[in-house]
Amino acid sequence: MTPNKDALREWVVALLSGEFEQGRGRLKLIGIDGQPDEYCCLGVACEIFAERLNLKKEIKHYFNITYAFYNDHAWALPMAVSHYLGVNEYMPVIAGRLVTELNDILEWDFYKIACAINSTYELDMDIPDPDLV
């Protein structure tokens, strides 16, 4: 499958936008008691492409956790999103590792993940160092 570089660039821009609070373990964890919603890096992709791809988005409650499902997925990319991005995987490999490992286990921040997407897919984006901006 050929990567959709325009869509991948949109994802990178969204990761760098500061509009999404980073979370772990779920595509989107719904904030409670005034807490912000949290997204893993894949959840950001789901959120920004949900309307365009007509994803079915459901909010479900389990025990004391509330989170979003996109096309019945809460932990991995729905096939519609992976195909749109051109990555052909529920959990893309970026920088030689599953992107969920980068986000959830190694706890890379969105900036580092965005840089890795840029490099892995040769997007040629000029991403400024956040410490210098």
Least confident interval from 8-17, 31-40, 53-62, 67-76: 31-40
Summarised one tens digit per residue, pLDDT across range 30-59 is 988 778 999 999 999 999 999 999 999 999
Q: Six-digit token pair at 36?
A: 């912000």
Q: Please give the average per-residue pLDDT across 3-12, as a whole number.
A: 98
DSSP 34-100: TPPPEE-HHHHHHHHHTTTTT--EEEEEETTEEEEEETTBSSS--HHHHHHHT--SSS-EETTEEHH
The structure tokens 């897919």 sit at 121
Helix (H) or strand (E) holding 29: strand 28-29
For the chain, the residue count is 133
- At 89, the pLDDT band (50, 70, 90 cuts) reads confident
97, with CB counted inside 10 A (0-12, 13-18, 19+), is middle
